[in-house]
């Protein structure tokens, strides 16, 4: 069973960009490999939540790693390819809208992160997980890192892989369900998306029916 640890930084402890200090500290203690894991898509009304796990090669760390939310689309796409080229191991897992509705978004996100870690071709000895929770079910030690995508390069790499993968999935979905404009808002609750829902209704197994406004509408 994974031993759970948490790490809550002070505001001024955050580096300008994520670095490799946590990973190198683990290496000095004989703990390696270390993987970072993060997810993308907790907030949207539609689409999956996508998680990624990444083990970086300490000798070939990709340039430009950062919190994916602070990067442009073009920057994420470029670094995505570099991560795939240079990382020791990368894996991706997702939970669909139906799975999210059956539990809740927090549980679905953590489950996807755990599955991503287990799908790695190299078994990690320590998992650095973005946020305040450690994914349950890990077979190694885990450490929750608040704002981890701004602190750890391994977590930042996972955040980029998850974000780019999810955006590509939603863009592909847009070509099938053309009335919803998923390539423009990626399933988030923009005015355009809400207008499309009002006009065409929610899509089964794609919209998260446990989220507002669907849940609120059902209660009326």
Q: pLDDT digits over 179-204, tens only?
A: 999 999 999 999 999 999 999 999 99
Give 140-178 pLDDT, tens digit per residue: 999 999 999 999 999 999 999 999 999 999 999 999 999
Q: Residue 116: left if φ>0, alpha if ψ -120 to 50, beta else—which one?
A: alpha
Q: Which residue has the higher pLDDT, 14 or 73?
A: 73
CATH code of residue 179: 3.30.420.10
SS (H, E, C) the chain: CCCEEEECCCHHHCCCCCECHHHHHHHHCCCCCEEEEEEECCCCCECCEEEEEEECCCCCCCCCCCCHHHCCHHHHHHHHHHHHHHCCEEEEEEECHHHHHHCCHHHHHHHHHHHHHHCCCCCCCEEEEECCCCCCCCCCEEEEECCHHHCEHHHHHHHHHHHHHHHHHHHHHHHHCCCCCHHHHCCCCCHHHHHHHHHHCCCCCCECCCCCCHHHHHHC
Confidence at residue 58, expressed as pLDDT on a 0 to 100 scale: 98
Chain CA centroid to CA 219, Å: 31
φ, ψ of residue 172 to 5 degrees: the values are -65, -40
Give the model's confidence band at 3: pLDDT under 50 very low, under 70 low, under 90 confident, else very high: low
Q: Retrieve residue 12's tokens.
A: 């001024």
Residues of the domain holding 41: 4-219
Q: How many domains does the chain have?
A: 1
């Amino acid at each position: 069973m994974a031993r759970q640890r948490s790490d809550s930084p002070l505001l001024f402890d955050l580096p300008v960009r994520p670095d490799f200090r946590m990973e190198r500290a683990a290496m000095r203690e004989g703990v390696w490999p270390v993987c970072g894991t993060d997810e993308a898509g907790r907030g949207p009304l539609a689409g999956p939540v996508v998680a990624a796990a990444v083990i970086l090669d300490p000798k070939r760390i990709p340039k430009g790693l950062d919190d994916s939310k602070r990067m442009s689309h073009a920057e994420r796409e470029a670094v995505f390819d570099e991560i795939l080229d240079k990382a020791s191991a990368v894996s991706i897992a997702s939970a669909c809208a139906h799975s999210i509705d059956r539990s809740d978004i927090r549980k679905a996100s953590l489950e996807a992160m755990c599955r991503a870690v287990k799908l790695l071709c190299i078994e990690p000895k320590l998992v650095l997980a973005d946020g305040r929770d450690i994914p349950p079910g890990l077979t190694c030690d885990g450490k929750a890192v608040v704002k981890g995508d701004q602190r750890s390069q391994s977590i930042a790499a996972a955040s980029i892989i998850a974000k780019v993968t999810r955006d590509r999935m939603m863009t592909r979905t847009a070509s099938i369900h053309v009335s919803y404009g998923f390539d423009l808002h990626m399933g988030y609750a923009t005015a355009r998306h809400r207008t499309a829902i009002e006009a065409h209704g929610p899509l089964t197994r794609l919209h998260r029916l446990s989220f507002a406004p669907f849940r609120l509408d059902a209660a009326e």
